[in-house]
């Protein structure tokens, strides 16, 4: 059973991982990221961390915050870990540019309200 007291810690892990992704991809185009294996792998790793931290959030917390697509985030982690050989880099770029910014804002709000 996951402990609700740890939710804030997990949310901080998510926020830190998002910040790392922002740092690793800042100023890069999708093509540049795809050709820079160091930054690409570091980015994928931190998106995996986001998914794992989401998985470890308490069920109660996730149920109380249904506006965040928790299951989608968890599934992304599973794809990156288990289907690493067929990562769709267009989807990855979309996650970086379109999905992480609103997730970051939500997580910051959640942390401030805990």
Show which residues are catalytic: 77, 82
Q: In angstroms, how far is CA 71 from the centroid of its own chain?
A: 12
Phi and psi of 27, rounded to 5°?
Answer: 80, 0
Tokens 């931190």, located at residue: 46
Report yes or no: 44 and 63 within 8 Å, Cβ to Cβ.
no
């Amino acid at each position: 059973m996951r402990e609700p007291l740890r939710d804030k810690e997990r949310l901080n892990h998510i926020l830190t991982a998002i910040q790392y992704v922002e740092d690793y991809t800042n100023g890069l185009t999708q093509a540049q990221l795809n050709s820079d294996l160091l930054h690409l792998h570091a980015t994928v790793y931190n998106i995996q961390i986001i998914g794992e931290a989401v998985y470890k959030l308490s069920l109660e917390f996730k149920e109380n915050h249904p506006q965040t697509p928790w299951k989608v985030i968890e599934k992304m982690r599973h794809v990156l870990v288990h289907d690493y050989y067929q990562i769709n880099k267009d989807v990855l770029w979309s996650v970086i540019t379109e999905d992480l910014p609103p997730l970051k804002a939500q997580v910051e709000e959640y942390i401030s309200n805990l």
